[in-house]
Amino acid sequence: MDEKKKDNRPWIWFLVLIMVGGVLASGVLSDLFGSGGEEERPAQGQLPESELELPPIKLVHNVENTTIVTALGMARVYTNGTHAFIDANPPLAGKTLVFTITLLNATRDGIPVEVAEEGDLVTVNYVGRLESGELFDTTLREVAENESIPKSEYFTPRETYEPFTFTLGAGEVIRGFDSAVAGMRVNETKTVTLPPAEAYGEYNPMLVEAIPIEDELPRIEYLRRYITVPREEYEAIMGPAQVGATIDIMENIKAKVTRVDANVTIEVLLSQGDVINVGYPWNSTVVFVGEDRIAIRHEVSPGEVVQFSSLPWNTTIVE
């Protein structure tokens, strides 16, 4: 990969966050670029009346229940019909778990030992249940396939069933499971009850993002024409700041350095009629360039199905 392009990427998105400070939309769309605050927009009279009368873009998110991988790990995606939810909590967060564990063998530096201690390689069979008695996981096929044993919503049949091996005390399992196995003797079976703090932690509602299924976005939005950033941050990425220098802030958007002191001010170089892309899954047309703001019109049509890079589903343009 081109090292220069890779290094510039965080800087480019930082500039876009600042430049698209006026992006405001309901639901998750407000987070696509963030918001620079309620800053003054160009006077409405500066835009053609035909542009001012344009209705917002209406969207429908095509959500399906699924599991995705995020920066925080696995997350559940589900819907209640009016909202979509991205839940980054572990599935068993907030649950008290009951484990029945059998220690099959333990080795220390490759030598079998009778009692498991921290650092040993141990192999176990286990049955994991909720407090209600519903099964959520097991290494034993006869338990998993026993129809008389109630299964929780978290239970998923395995393709193969075999004992589980891990290094005791290495953080490869939840804390309470580690503690339960420590001190067990080979062929010993024990049952332990683990509160959330010893299992997957308490449920955190802050890790749940709710998004309206029916959403909308202004068809006309505003970019900042001038961007000011600390000189130290600019030069750490772009090199020495020089008045008059032209830089690329996105693939199809250039800017010119207009002032250098403790900060660096750059002017976004766009003209009316330019077709650009500022990160949405469509292009936008510059319809007005004012003293401090640039107005763009999103070019979408009813029936289009688009994919926002920040969402694990596609979205249909309604109107």
pLDDT for 229-275, tens place per residue? 888 888 888 889 899 999 887 777 888 999 999 999 989 899 999 99
In a shared domain, residues 179 and 222? no
CA–CA distance, 209 with 155 (Å, rounded to integer): 24
Q: What is the pLDDT of residue 47?
A: 67
Using DSSP, state whether 247 is helix, strand or coil. strand
pLDDT one-digit tens code per residue, 140-188: 999 999 999 999 988 889 999 999 999 999 999 999 999 999 999 999 9
Q: Which two tokens stand for residue 196?
A: 């959330």
Percent pLDDT > 90 in the chain is 47
How many domains are there within the chain?
2
Pair 299, 284: CB distance under 8 Å? yes
Q: What is the pLDDT of residue 178?
A: 94
Segments forming the whole domain that contains residue 168: 97-198
In a shared domain, residues 219 and 310? yes
Q: Which two tokens stand for residue 248?
A: 């690329």
CATH number at residue 191: 3.10.50.40
Question: In this structure, how many other beta carbons lie within 10 angstroms of the beta carbon of residue 65?
Answer: 10
CA–CA distance, 313 with 145 (Å, rounded to integer): 34
In a shared domain, residues 227 and 308? yes
CA–CA distance, 293 with 33 (Å, rounded to integer): 16
Q: Is residue 89 part of a domain?
A: no
Pair 282, 314: CB distance under 8 Å? no
Strand order in the sheet with 253-260: 226-230, 263-269, 253-260, 246-250
Q: Is residue 87 part of a domain?
A: no
Q: What is the pLDDT of residue 285?
A: 93
Half-sphere exposure of 115 (CA within 13 A, CB side): 3
Mean pLDDT (whole number) for 93-120:
95
In a shared domain, residues 47 and 23? yes
In a shared domain, residues 247 and 306? yes
Mean pLDDT (whole number) for 274-279:
88
Instruction: Report how far apart, in Å, the C-alpha atoms of 253 and of each of 44, 169, 270, 288 are.
Output: 25, 52, 7, 15
Mean pLDDT (whole number) for 36-42:
42
In a shared domain, residues 178 and 250? no
Percent pLDDT > 70 in the chain is 82
In a shared domain, residues 112 and 42? no
In a shared domain, residues 273 and 299? yes
